[in-house]
Amino acid sequence: MKVIGFNASPRKNANTMTLVEAVLKGAADKGAETRLVNLNQLNIKGCQGCEVCKKKPGQCATKDDLSPLLVEMKDCDAIILGTPIYWFHVSAQIKMLIDRFYCYMGHETSPETGEESTFSTFPGGKKFVIVTSQGDAVPEMYQQTLDWLNLVTTIMSASSTEFVTHCGSENDKSSARNNAEMMAKARSIGESLV
């Protein structure tokens, strides 16, 4: 079993990364092959809107450090998307990754009816884990962002989506690490992926 975890926080060893690593550790402890990707360390671009992928669904024309990861994701059994909540939404790094998921979507026209429909070239049935960390202590404060992330995994035909939501971090980069219950939950969710 292969599990890939994306850390979209620009801050190294902060709460988002800590929790993504905990989920990966839980999966690794159960025998999964795991990989952590720190998006901020890569040379990546957002979707360029070139529509080349509509001629070749599943293939993004942009060539950068994200290109091979979009291919690798297809072979993974579980995907972890970790992001801090910045200015009421996900970080720029995770938004660039998610926007590039557009390459997996194709369009076709029925020869009989002329109706257009959408299809996905991304293999369905993968398990997703969404990790978020927010400064605000109220869990519901950014529910709209969690709902949007859940929509993303639904479009990706996830077999399941689990959430690790860390609240009240303020500027304390180690608040997740110091929260034994939160760390245990993250590891437990990682174990459940296997």
Domain holding 137: CATH number? 3.40.50.360
pTM, to two decimals:
0.95
How many whole angstroms separate alpha carbon 10 and alpha carbon 83? 9
Instruction: Kindly state the DSSP code that residue 8 receives in the 8-state scheme.
Output: -
CA distance 50 to 60: 9
Average pLDDT (143-166) is 97
Can you tell me which residue has the tokens 């109706």? 115
Domain count, the chain: 1
CA distances from 94 to 47, 49, 119, 132 (A): 12, 17, 23, 11
Residue 3 pLDDT more than 90?
yes
Give 21's pLDDT tier (boundaries 50, 70, 90): very high
In the predicted model, is pLDDT for residue 171 greater than 90?
Answer: no
With beta carbons less than 8 A apart as the criterion, state whether 165 and 82 touch.
no
Residue 10 tokens read as 């620009």
Kindly state the average pLDDT of the residues 79-105: 96
- State both tokens at 182: 């939160």
Confidence band for 107, pLDDT divided at 50, 70 and 90 = confident
Expressed as residue numbers, the domain containing 57 is: 2-192
The mean-pLDDT minimum among 32-36, 96-100, 116-120, 159-163 falls in 116-120
Instruction: In whole angstroms, give the CA distance from residue 82 to residue 49.
Output: 24
**pLDDT at residue 170 is higher than 90:** no
- Which residue has 């020869």 as its token pair? 111
Give residue-wise pLDDT tens across range 110-144: 889 889 989 999 999 999 999 999 999 998 899 99
C-alpha distance from residue 20 to each of 31, 80, 128, 164, 178 (Å): 17, 7, 12, 9, 15
Taken in order 148, 131, 87, 9, the sign of the CA dihedral is: negative
